[in-house]
């Protein structure tokens, strides 16, 4: 049985003061959650978040990480820097990173391998654009992205990896794939992992989230689908009550 995992992706939101207020409110709301709870916060808020959630069931995540251990990479952050702050999870390959900052399947793979080598658990994002969906290329895109992301990653690392299926056209738009559409595409992703490794690996080790505008209204229906193991939550993660309702779908 794959344990559900609900992760909040705050994106470029929340100061240290906002972080303190939100997480202080969130802790009691999710303390009995059956799902694993993660908050992926901006770099400037990591230390604040770590102090507030210490001793709680909320895990700490970051929103990106570089593949190099150190060096001349202005504006980037390393695995060691994040681990030192108590970070456990890190989002890699989010569509906004691909769209605005030149992320590729190759760099996603490099970041994922570095994260694993340094003790972080990557949440690897895959998903198609609206044009790709309308052209009937959804399966082709997620197979390519998944295959690229897992290149040269050993089977022994699979239980540390989470995949987030994020249809680009459903992020921040209020649109969402139907629960059946999301489930079908996530099955394609899981089948791809099975082909790369083994069926048991795909069924028991790798958790796959849905990340296209999951919210308190649609979380239960999406989470009822057999292939969906959780959600990577954007807007709804910025409000303690909304996020807790998703966590307790």
By annotation, the residues acting in catalysis are 94, 166
Structure tokens at 238: 């910025």
Closest CA to 229 of 183, 184, 195: 183
- Residue 129: CB partners within 8 Å, gap ≥ 6? 168, 169
| Residue 2 per-residue DSSP state | P
C-alpha distance from residue 199 to each of 33, 113, 204, 209 (Å): 29, 22, 9, 18
Q: Of all helices (H) and strands (E), which one includes residue 129?
A: none
Q: What does the alpha-carbon distance between residue 205 and residue 40 come to, in Å, rounded to a whole number? A: 22
Pairing of strands 5-9, 58-62: unpaired
The C-alpha angle 91, 166, 245, rounded to 5 degrees, equals 80
Kindly state the tokens that stand for 5: 């995992």
Helices 46-53 and 16-30 cross at an angle (nearest 10°) of 30
Q: Which residues pair with 125 in a beta bridge?
A: 164
Task: Say how far apart CA 58 and CA 56 lie, in whole Å.
Answer: 5
Say if strands 121-126 and 89-92 run parallel, antiparallel, or are unpaired: parallel
């Amino acid at each position: 049985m794959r344990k559900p995992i609900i992760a909040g992706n705050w994106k470029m939101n929340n100061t240290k003061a906002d972080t303190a207020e939100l997480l202080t409110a969130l802790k009691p709301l999710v303390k009995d959650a059956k799902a694993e709870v993660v908050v992926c916060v901006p770099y400037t808020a990591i230390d604040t978040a770590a102090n507030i959630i210490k001793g709680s069931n909320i895990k700490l995540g970051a929103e990106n990480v570089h593949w190099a251990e150190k060096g001349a990479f202005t504006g980037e952050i390393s695995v060691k820097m994040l681990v030192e702050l108590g970070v456990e999870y890190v989002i890699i390959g989010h569509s906004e990173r691909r769209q605005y900052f030149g992320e590729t399947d190759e760099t996603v793979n490099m970041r994922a391998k570095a994260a694993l080598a340094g003790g972080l658990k990557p949440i690897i994002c895959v998903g198609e654009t609206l044009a790709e969906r309308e052209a009937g290329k959804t399966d082709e895109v997620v197979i390519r992205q998944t295959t690229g992301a897992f290149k040269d990653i050993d089977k022994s690392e699979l239980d540390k990896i989470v995949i987030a299926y994020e249809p680009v056209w459903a992020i921040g738009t209020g649109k969402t794939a139907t629960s059946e559409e999301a489930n079908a595409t996530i099955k394609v992703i899981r089948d791809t992992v099975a082909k790369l490794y083994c069926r048991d690996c795909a069924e028991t080790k790798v958790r796959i989230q849905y990340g296209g505008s999951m919210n308190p209204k649609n979380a239960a229906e999406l989470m009822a689908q057999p292939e969906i193991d959780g959600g990577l939550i954007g807007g709804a993660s910025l409000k303690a009550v909304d996020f807790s309702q998703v966590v307790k779908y």
